[in-house]
Structure 1
Amino acid sequence: MTEVSGAVWSLTILGILGLLAFDFFFHVRKAHTPTLREAAVWSSIYVGLAIVFGVGVFAFGGSTMGSEYFAGYITEKALSVDNLFVFLIIMASFKVPRDDQQKVLLFGIVFALIARTAFIFAGAAIINRFSAVFYLFGIILLVTAGNMLKPEGEDEHSADNFIIRLAKKVFHTSDHYDGDKMFTVVNGKRALTPMLLVMVAIGGTDILFALDSIPAIFGLTQNVYIVFTATAFSLMGLRQLFFLIDGLLDRLIYLSYGLATILAFIGVKLVLHALHENNLPFINGGEHVPVVEISTGLSLSVILGVLVITVIFSLVSPRGKVQTAISGARHHATNYVDLEYTADSAERERVYAKLLEEERQLTQADPKFRQMIDEELDLAPLIERAHREHEAFLAR
């Protein structure tokens, strides 16, 4: 394993902090909704930086470190896209105004980076002392993979969780936003705004995400520098990616299956590695078990292959297109009738245009998917209400 000097560590950390500061002061500080072009350009820049960094790792650290970095980066990036689903659900349940969603996302990214850094160094310390922890990491990933295959509702990640209920009981809270302020004054009393509560909710989910993602990347490499940088670069640009693929998130209906496959594969790899390094007395008398170990090159190939197949199947699936239209219509109709969603008339027109397109897709859907649409009992009244709101808006 190539040793990384303190100077390289310092420069890397300063570079990441500089990117976060740049993102805040030049993009997030002033509340606005990023255009599709802005999101695409900056998403490309952050992915480009991650690739350039990986090429540098190849050049200065060798092919093994380079392969481990890209395997870790791609895995963590895929997991972070899955995290965006949960962020979307949380922000929808809190009805975060569109213009302020950037700030919530950036907070989530920073908190995730802090939480995962803590888990990385804690995990590295445990691995150095107890190699048997690979058994535990492997089991965690296999259980997580199984849980990903279970159907889950939005309520599992909604705003109504223990921390939020406790905060509302203990502290004076406001039901309405005051721009992007954390605190406001209601009836002469200082109160917490929903902006602070949504950040608490996202911070809590970030900790849960770290419990899955850190064992996954330790299954690909035990080089702490590679683990840290791959994780950090996977989080960079996540805010822009959210706005870029906002309409595509619901389309990736098979993503959970792909991620479950990847996590199960890494879980098996970890268990095999644990058997190879075994020192538990009740397994093979404390001696290592002669098993096949999975190479980094094979890991990278499997991860890329699974993701490509998952995305292609999601995008071409007729059922996926119908499910996307249903989810999109509900999402855009809800946003349109929510007057606190945004004050930008152009943004409201964009949302309404999206709703019309999704409504057209539903009316033209194959009859065999009609039951899927009919089961959404509250969707038609919601869309009708959005039409009435639009007519009232035009009549002003």
Structure 2
Amino acid sequence: MDTIATPLMWGTFAAFVVVALFIDFFALNKQGAHKVSMKEAAIWSLIWVATSFIFLGIMWWEMGGLSGDAAAKALANTKALEFTTGYLVEKALAVDNIFVFLMLFTYFAVPAEYQKRVLMIGILMALVLRAGMIVVGAWLVAQFHWVLYVFGAFLVFTGFKMWLAAGQEPDLESNPALKWVRKTFTISPHYDGEKFFTPIDGKRIATPLLIVVILIGIIDVVFAVDSIPAIFAITTDPFIVLTSNVFAILGLRAMYFLLAGMHEKFHLLPYGLALVLVFIGAKMLLIDVYKIPIVWSLTATASILVLTMILSLLIKPKGEVHATGAFPFDSKKTNEED
């Protein structure tokens, strides 16, 4: 697994992540359970984006971006573009995660003040999961070049599937993961603060908040299967793959609260994400025929996303989905139900 990263760059990356998570957890614990405002979400979103590009600047400088060596400067510029493109793609795909998270929170009627903690735990699960998948993916690509074609075909297939599913209301009731949860756990009909377990009739049973966390973990697995191959279409350098992915995920919680109230305004965005996946998949399939420049990939991805967001504002949706806010479990629903 060849990489441009030096031990100093790996150390810098680790320090950034540890400090960022510490600050986030410290802020979370200090504030306690509360509803996140748009202002707070916007500030944290800007902080995460700024942090990502501060790291990018340090990486670019470490690789010789300011040196007089033309070869080192060219390499630094290329890797910086790869990071930026990967970061943008992962951020874009994370929007799809956000819409599913919103659907889950609405379906389970999760109080707004508890959503912050659930998302924080979900982000930690996503970081661990994706790091493992990236290591495995990088090893596979290094050992078997043909894996890139498998990734490419999968992304094209996923893109077409996403396009066909766009605009359709998801049926959470028939979701296999939810059915498994209902059969596996006895679930309290009420929340108990931010607790995951609560005593009822002398028994310690799961609260709905634990169920939401489990489902978010399953969702992370599903979306990682799409997003990890996408980043390998941009670069096979495990350092760039990992860092761009991690920094995109770190800001997911703030981005959720920023976009949660605007999801209906960007109703055409799933079509844009589908086109991005098809484009990236095609890029991977053509890798041995014609290597599409990173600048083109960045331009195409940004253009597709901006265009679909603009069209979403100009074209009204055909119909609106109204959440009932009904809680999906009642006191009679236990793990014995079929």
Same fold (TM over 0.5): yes
Q: Secondary structure at the match of 2:191?
A: coil
Could you tell me whether the CA contact under 8 Å between 1:67 and 1:296 is conserved in 2?
yes
Q: 1:261 to 1:246 in 2, by over 3 A?
A: same
Which of 80, 87, 92 in structure 1 is aligned with 2:101?
Answer: 87
**Shift in CA distance, 159/223, structure 1 to aligned 2, threshold 3 Å:** farther
Residue 260 of structure 2 aligns to a residue whose secondary structure is coil
Question: What CA distance in whole angstroms lies between the structure 1 residues aligned with 2:145 and 2:11?
Answer: 28
Q: 1:159 to 1:7 in 2, by over 3 A?
A: farther
Distance 1:40 1:111 in 2: 23
In the other structure, the counterpart of 2:187 is: 173
Which residue of structure 1 aligns with residue 35 of structure 2?
A: 33
Q: Does 1:193 align with 2:207?
A: yes
CA contact (8 A) 1:159 1:201 kept: no
Q: Is the 8 A contact 2:130 2:224 kept in 1?
A: yes
Look up the match of 1:366. none
Alignment partner, residue 119 of structure 2: 105
1:243: Cα distance to partner? 1.4
Are residue 138 (structure 1) and residue 140 (structure 2) matched?
A: no
| Aligned twin of 1:52 | 54
Name the SS for the 1:191 alignment partner. Answer: strand
Please say if residues 93 and 159 of structure 1, whose CA atoms lie closer than 8 Å, have aligned partners that are also in contact: no
- Cα distance in 1, alignment partners of residues 190 and 156 from structure 2: 42
Task: Write the distance in 2 (CA, Å) between the matches of 1:160 and 1:192.
Answer: 21
> Which runs of 5 or more structure 2 residues have no equivalent in the other structure?
64-75, 328-338
Residues 284-318 of structure 1: per-residue CA shift (max 9 Å, x gap): xxxxxxx222111111111111111111111122x
Partner of 1:15: 16
Return the alpha-carbon distance in structure 1 between the equivalents of residues 174 and 298 of structure 2.
Answer: 38
Helix, strand or coil for the counterpart of 2:5? coil
Structure 1 gap segments, 5+ residues each: 277-290, 339-396
Counterpart in the other structure of 2:332? none
Q: How does 1:116-131 map to 2 (within 5 A)?
A: 116-131=130-145
- Structure showing greater radius of gyration is 1
2:223 corresponds to 1:213: no
Q: Which residue of 2 aligns with 1:252?
A: 266
Q: 1:154 to 1:115 in 2, by over 3 A?
A: farther
Equivalent AA in structure 2 for residue 16 of structure 1: V
* Aligned residue identity for 1:270: M
Letter in 2 for 1:76: E
How many residue pairs get aligned? The number is 312
Larger helix fraction of residues: 1
Quote how far apart the aligned CAs of 1:190 are: 0.7
| CA gap 1:19/1:160 in 2 versus in 1, 3 angstroms | farther
Instruction: Decide whether aligned partners of structure 1 residues 252 and 59 sit closer, same or farther in structure 2, where only a CA change above 3 A counts.
Output: same
Letter in 1 for 2:20: L
Which residue number in structure 2 is paired with residue 242 of structure 1?
256
Q: Helix, strand or coil: the match of 2:264? A: helix
Quote how far apart the aligned CAs of 1:173 are.
Answer: 2.2
Greater mean alpha carbon deviation, residues 58-67 or residues 198-207: 58-67
TM-score by length of 2: 0.87
Question: What is the percent sequence identity of the aligned residues?
Answer: 38
Q: How far has the Cα of 1:59 moved from its partner?
A: 2.8
Q: Which residue of 1 aligns with 2:85?
A: 71
Structure of higher RCO (CA pairs closer than 8 Å, 6+ residues apart): 2
Shift of 1:160: 5.7
Give CA deviations for 1:49-90 in whole Å, capped at 9, x if unaligned: 112222333333310100000000000001001210011111
Deviations 1:150-178 (A, max 9, x none): 1364444x266434433433443212110
Partner of 2:237: 223
Aligned pair in 2 of structure 1 residues 155, 261: CA closer, same or farther (>3 Å)?
closer
User: In structure 1, how many angstroms separate the alpha carbons of the residues matched to 2:3 and 2:133?
Assistant: 22
Q: Secondary structure at the match of 1:150?
A: helix
**Which amino acid counterpart does residue 28 of structure 2 have in structure 1?**
H
Question: Do the aligned residues in 2 keep the contact of 1:172 with 1:190 (CA within 8 Å)?
Answer: no
Residues 3 and 238, structure 2, Cα contact 8 Å, conserved in 1: no
What does 1:321-332 correspond to in 2, within 5 Å? 323=319, 326-327=320-321, 330-331=322-323
Q: Secondary structure at the match of 1:19?
A: helix
Residue matched to 2:333: none
Change (3 A) 1:28 1:160: farther
Alpha-carbon distance in 2 for matches of 1:262, 1:173 = 39
Query: Residue 300 of structure 1 is aligned with which of 283, 286, 298?
Result: 298
Deviation at 1:194, TM superposition (A): 0.8
Contact 1:145 1:261 in 2 (8 A): yes
Q: Work out whether residues 85 and 234 of structure 2, in 8 Å CA contact, stay in contact via their aligned partners in 1.
A: yes
> 2: distance between equivalents of 1:160 and 1:93?
13
